[in-house]
Amino acid sequence: MKVLRFLKNNKQFTVFLLLALAIAAIAVFAPWIAPRDPYDAVMSDSLKEPGSTYVWGTDKLGRDVLSRVIYGTRSSLTMTLCLVAVIFVVGTAFGILAGYFGGAVDAVIMRIADMMISFPGLVLAIAIAGLLGPNMVNAVIAISAVSWTKYARLARSMVLKIKQNLYIEAAVVTGTKRGSIIMKYVIPNMITTMVVTAATDIGTMMLELASLSFLGFGAQAPTPEWGLMLNEGRTYISKAPWLMIYPGIAIVVVVVVFNMLGDSIRDILDPKQE
């Protein structure tokens, strides 16, 4: 009953949570939802217009666009969630170390962060992905390398504020180990803000992954991934515009849903709203 009451009182959160769950369900059940095999090429049906046989048309190899977009949900969403998890864990960990221990540790971590921030993020990610080689795993590594700084700086500022509380000083005086202080007092008081930040970044990270795939540094053919599908369709934009329209709509819808879900979570958990 409490859950139902909570969902009823937070209608915006409920709506976008249901939409996010629907997107996740499409990714999980893609093999049962997709009408055709996304890798099945039928050259005789190349660039077929949307119709009764192929609802969203076909690409240059005669592959069903609808099936590829549905399977693209799986690859795009999975890699985006992995990316957010990586930068969340790495950035938060470095931020806690810098903020709590200070001194040389703080100086080294923050100078590295400043160095990463001084470069345009996407340009640096392209350079890293180019050095590592074009695939989705390397794209995640490349974007993680330039995105963790946001979480590190936020975590550091929160740790510095938490350290000023009397209960931290009391724990130090009583001989509590640093690891215990961090686990029992520091992390619980900052984790909510960090989780909200991660939730609001899902849409942005998905766009960055799609951008790398569009530029040829992310997913590689024949993987059904939305950024790659946009790249493959741009050559035929005048002859077969559906090759870019449907993957583009999928990206917009998913990004908007997760951005709004993140905003809803922030509104609910923001202490200033209480």
Specify the pTM. 0.87
Instruction: Tell me how far apart the alpha carbons of residues 58 and 178 are, in angstroms, rounded to a whole number.
Output: 59
What pLDDT shows up at residue 178? 81
* pLDDT tens per residue across span 84-93: 999 999 999 9
Residues 6+ apart with CB under 8 A from 205: 80, 83, 84, 87, 143, 147
Instruction: Tell me how far apart the alpha carbons of residues 175 and 161 are, in angstroms, rounded to a whole number.
Output: 21
Mean of the pLDDT values across residues 177-206?
87
Determine the angle formed by the axes of helices 65-101 and 11-28, rounding to 10 degrees.
120
Q: Cis (ω within 30 of 0) for the bond into 222?
A: yes
* pLDDT tens per residue across span 149-190: 999 999 999 998 888 888 888 888 888 888 888 888 888 888
Mean of the pLDDT values across residues 194-203?
88
**DSSP single-letter state for residue 38:** T
What pLDDT shows up at residue 245? 92
Instruction: Tell me how far apart the alpha carbons of residues 19 and 108 are, in angstroms, rounded to a whole number.
Output: 42
Residues 6+ apart with CB under 8 A from 57: 47, 48, 49, 50, 51, 65, 240, 242, 243
CA-to-CA dists, residue 2 to 5, 9, 101, 126, angstroms: 5, 10, 41, 47
Query: What's the CATH fold of domain 19-24+56-269?
Result: MetI-like fold (1.10.3720)
* pLDDT tens per residue across span 13-71: 889 999 999 999 999 999 999 999 899 888 888 888 898 888 898 998 889 999 999 99
What pLDDT shows up at residue 238? 86
Confidence of residue 273 (pLDDT cuts 50, 70, 90): very low
Instruction: Tell me how far apart the alpha carbons of residues 265 and 15 are, in angstroms, rounded to a whole number.
Output: 12
Mean pLDDT (the chain) is: 88
Query: What is the total residue count of the chain?
Result: 274
**DSSP single-letter state for residue 273:** G
* pLDDT tens per residue across span 236-271: 888 889 999 999 999 999 999 998 988 888 888 764
**Domain range summary for the chain, segments of one domain joined by +:** 19-24+56-269
